Amino acid sequence: MWKFFSLDEIKKSLLMALWFIFLTFPIMVIRVNPIYNVVEWRWQNMALVGAGAFFLSFLWRYFLEYKNPAPSKPADDAAVSRSGRFSELLRSSGTRRLAIGAAVILALAFPYLFSSYQVNIMTTALIYVVLGLGLNIVVGLAGLLDLGYVAFYAVGAYSYALLNLHFGLSFWICLPIGAALAALFGILLGFPVLRLRGDYLAIVTLGFGEIIRLVLENWNDFSKGPSGIAGIPRPGIPGIEMSLNASSVFLYFLMIALALFTIMVVSRLRNSRIGRAWIALREDEIACQAMGVDKTKTKLTAFALGATWAGMGGVMFAAKTTFINPASFTFLESAIILSIVVLGGMGSIIGVIASAFILILLPEYLRAFSEYRMLIFGAVLVIMMVFRPQGLISNVRQTYRFKGLQENKEGD
Amino acid sequence: MLKIRNIRTYYGNIQALKGITLDIAEGEIITLIGANGAGKSTTLMSICGVARPRYGEIFFRGTPIHEMSTEKIVALGICQVPEGRRIFPNLTVMENLEMGAFLRRDGHGIKNDLDHVFDLFPILAQRRSQAGGTLSGGEQQMLAISRALMARPKLLLLDEPSLGLAPLIIQQIFEIIKKINAESKTTIFLVEQNANLALKVAHRGYVMENGLITMSDSAINLLGNEEVKKAYLGL
Ligand SMILES: Nc1ncnc2c1ncn2[C@@H]1O[C@H](COP(=O)(O)OP(=O)(O)O)[C@@H](O)[C@H]1O
Ligand SMILES: [Mg+2]
C-alpha cells in the first residue's frame, strides 16, 4: 500500500492531473457570457479538476494493482479464482433458483408497482435483451463480428409498419413474417461475407447496415423516407378494447414472453450440434472443416438465426413506439447492441441480460444528470472494460478448473 | 484405396503442386517426406477438399472425390490431423473429441470409440474436462489424433505429428500410430519432415520436392538410399 505514495507515484499523479486540467480547460474553466460579452475564468474549477484527477489517479492505480497482482505471484491463478467466485455463485443451483424466483415475481409485479413510464422503459430494455441475445449468437458463439446488426432490426420494424400500412396485416401475423424476412436478409448478408473474417467482416457488415438505412431514408415511395411511418397499431387481443395504459402493460408482458422464449431457445442452441459447430468454427475454421463441419451452412445459420431475433425485436419496437423512421436504425444502435454482448461477456446468456439492463436503464435513470449522463455512461463502459475485459460474467469455459492445473502440468 | 492422379493445386497464381501421382493401398502406412514448403500439406489439403486441385483426379475406393465437398469427403471416411494440431483451445478435451464425431449419429459407437481413444491415450481421460488450450504440446497432439479417430476414419491423414515435440513424446506418438494401424486396420498417410522416424514406421514412402514427387520406394529402400540419406536423414 505504502509504495503508492512514493515520489514516482506522486509524479505520475501530478502529470495526470495536469493532463486532465488541460483536457477540461475549455469546458470547465472558460465560460463565455453572451449577454455581457465577457469571458469568465473559473479558476476554482481548474483547482477542483486538478485535485480530483490527482486523487482519482491514485485510486485508479490502486485498483489496477489489485486486479493484476505483482508479477511474483502466478497472475492467472489469482485473477481466475477471483472472477470465478461470482460465476461459482451463479452455478450453485440453490442461489440460482432463488434468483430466478425473485426475478419472475419482480417481472410479474412490475407493471402494478410502477408507473407506465417505467413500464415503457422496461419494455425497451427487454427488447434490447432479445437483440443482445440474438447478436450473441453471431458474435459470441459463432465469432462473426457483425457491426450492421441494426439492419435486421430495421427489417423487422419496417416489415410490420409497411405490411400493416398497405395490407392491414395485424401484429400477430407480422411477428413471424418480420422474423422470417430478417432471417432472409441475414442469409443475403451472409453469402458475400462467408470468406471474410475479423476486421474485413466488421467493415462489410457495417456497410450493409448503412445501406439498409440509406435505402429506407431515400426510397420515399417505399418507406416514406425520413418522415417515417406513423400510426402503427399496438398489438391487441381481438375483441378486447384496451386503454393506452393497458396496452402498454400488455406489450410489456408480450416482451417478457418473447424474452423468455429467446432465453430458452438460445440456451438450447448453445449446447446443440449447431451451437457446438459455431463455437468450434469460431476457434478454428480449418480444424472444423477437417471434422466435416459444413462451413457455409454453419455460418449462414448463425447469421439467419441471429437476424431472426432482431426481426422480432424490430416488430416489437414498431408496435411499442407506433412510429418509426430511419433515424432509429443508425450505427449507434448496432454499437449499443454490440456493447451489450461484449460487456455481458461474449457467449454468456445471464451476462448479456444483465448488461442489456445496465446499458439501457442506466442512461434512462441518469436523466437527472441531464448533460452528464452520456459522459457517465461512457465512463462506465471504459471502467468496465479496463477492470473486467472478459465481461460481466465471463464464459464459464474459460475458468474451467484452473487451480488443479499448476501441479499437474508437465513440460514436453 | 486412394489413387491420386496428376493433381495440380494452386494458391492464386502460385502453383504448389505440379502434378502429383500417388497410390495408397488398404491397410498401409504411407509416408510423404520432403523439406519445408515442398507441398506436403497442400497434398493433404487437396485430398480433403480444403484446397482444390485445378487439374487432376483423386479416387477414394473408386469414388472420384476431387470435386466433392469437404463434409462429404470426411463422411466417406477420410479424416485429417492438420499441421500444428489445431485443437479447439477453449473447448474441453471431451468437447474436442465430440467435435471429432460431428458427422456420426451412432451414440453407442461413439461411446465405444471414446473408450478406445482413452485406452490409447490415458492422459486424455484424466484431462477430459480441461480446456484444450491448457494442455501441453504433446497432449495436444494426442488430442488432435484422438479427435480424428473419433470420426472413425478409414484413411487417417497425419500432417507432421512430430512438429515441435520432444523426442520422447514423438517416440510415444509414433508407437501409437503403428498401433492404430495394426489394431484397427486404419490406413495411414503420414506427412513428415522427420524422415528418419517416418520411414521407420511406414511401409512405403514418397519423397517430394518443390511440388513434385521425386522418389517412391519401400521404406527400407528409402532409408538405405544415398540421396535420401544425404538430403533428409542428415547422414
Ligand atoms: N495459403 C497459402 N497461400 C499461398 N501460398 C501457400 C499457401 N499455403 C502454402 N503455400 C505455398 O505452397 C507451397 C507448399 O506449401 P506446403 O504445402 O505448406 O508445404 P509443406 O507442408 O511441405 O511445408 C509453399 O511454397 C508455400 O509457400
Ligand atoms: Mg506443411
Residue A1 has what pLDDT?
52
A293 touches chain B (CB under 8 A): yes
Residue A97 has what pLDDT?
81
- Which of B106, B127, B152 is the endpoint of a domain? B152
Which of B70, B98, B148 shows the shortest C-beta gap to A289? B70
Same-domain status, B67 and B157 = yes
Residue A412 has what pLDDT?
39
CATH number for position B205: 3.40.50.300
Please determine, for residue B187, whether its predicted confidence score (pLDDT) is greater than 50.
yes
Q: What integer is the mean pLDDT of A220-228?
A: 89
Least confident stretch, A70-74, A210-214, B3-7: A70-74
B11 φ, ψ to 5°? -110, 100
Classify B83 as helix, strand or coil: coil
For A234-287, the pLDDT digits (tens) are: 887 777 777 888 888 999 999 999 999 999 999 899 888 999 999 999 999 999
Please determine, for residue B231, whether its predicted confidence score (pLDDT) is greater than 70.
yes
Domain boundaries, chain A: 2-67, 127-387
Residue A26 has what pLDDT?
84
Closest CA to B78 of B100, B103, B47: B47
Classify B29 as helix, strand or coil: strand
Which of A291, A295, A405 shows the shortest C-beta gap to B100? A291
- Name the H helices within chain B: 40-48, 70-76, 93-100, 107-120, 122-126, 137-149, 167-184, 195-201, 219-224, 226-232
Which of B70, B100, B136 shows the shortest C-beta gap to A412? B136
Burial class from Cβ neighbours inside 10 Å (0-12, 13-18, 19+) for residue A166 reads exposed
Q: Positive or negative, the Cα torsion across A318, A322, A327, A332?
A: negative
Angle (CA) B160-B135-B198 rounded to 5° is 20
A294 touches chain B (CB under 8 A): yes
Same-domain status, B109 and B224 = no
Q: Taking a C-beta distance cutoff of 8 angstroms, is the pair A157, A142 a contact? A: no
With cut-offs at 50, 70 and 90, classify the pLDDT of residue A150. very high
Same-domain status, B133 and B198 = no
Please determine, for residue A79, whether its predicted confidence score (pLDDT) is greater than 70.
no
Residue A154 has what pLDDT?
96
Interface of B with A in 176-235 (CB under 8 A): none
Least confident stretch, A302-311, B121-130, B222-231: B222-231
Same-domain status, B197 and B235 = yes
Closest CA to A156 of A129, A185, A136: A185
Q: Is the ipTM of this complex over 0.95?
A: no
Cell representation of residue A410 = 508437465
Share of chain A above pLDDT 90, in %: 40
Strands B63-64 and B2-11: unpaired
Q: Which residue has better confidence, A4 or A102?
A: A102
Same-domain status, B70 and B36 = yes
Residue B95 domain boundaries: 85-152
Instruction: Say how far residue A388 (Cα) sits from the centre of its chain.
Output: 15
In this structure, how many other beta carbons lie within 10 angstroms of the beta carbon of residue A119? Answer: 21
Least confident stretch, A85-89, A390-394, B21-25, B230-234: A85-89
Same-domain status, B30 and B60 = yes
Q: What integer is the mean pLDDT of B75-97?
A: 93
What is the tally of structural domains in chain B?
A: 2
Can you tell me which atom of ligand 1 is nearest the CA of B38? 22
- Ligand 2 centroid from CA B207, angstroms: 14
Least confident stretch, A37-51, A63-77, B93-107, B154-168: A63-77
Same-domain status, B35 and B8 = yes
**A406 neighbourhood in chain B, CB within 8 Å:** none
Q: What integer is the mean pLDDT of B75-82?
A: 94
Same-domain status, B179 and B131 = no
Cell representation of residue B127 = 484431462
d(CA A303, CA A190): 6
- Which of B125, B152, B179 is the endpoint of a domain? B152
Residue A235 DSSP symbol: P
For chains A and B, CB pairs below 8 A equal 92
- Which of B134, B152, B170 is the endpoint of a domain? B152
d(CA B16, CA B9): 6
Please determine, for residue B228, whether its predicted confidence score (pLDDT) is greater than 60.
yes
Please determine, for residue A403, whether its predicted confidence score (pLDDT) is greater than 50.
no
With cut-offs at 50, 70 and 90, classify the pLDDT of residue A69. low
Residue type, A130: V
Residue A92 has what pLDDT?
67
For A298-340, the pLDDT digits (tens) are: 999 999 999 999 999 999 999 999 999 999 999 989 999 998 9
Cα(first)–Cα(last) distance of chain A, in Å? 40
Same-domain status, B5 and B54 = yes
Mean per-residue pLDDT of chain A: 83
Residue A76 has what pLDDT?
44
Pocket test for ligand 1, best of B15, B18, B31, B42 (most atoms within 8 A of CB): B42
Same-domain status, B97 and B141 = yes
With cut-offs at 50, 70 and 90, classify the pLDDT of residue B181. very high
Same-domain status, B57 and B119 = no
Same-domain status, B132 and B25 = no
For A16-50, the pLDDT digits (tens) are: 889 888 888 888 888 888 888 888 888 888 888 88
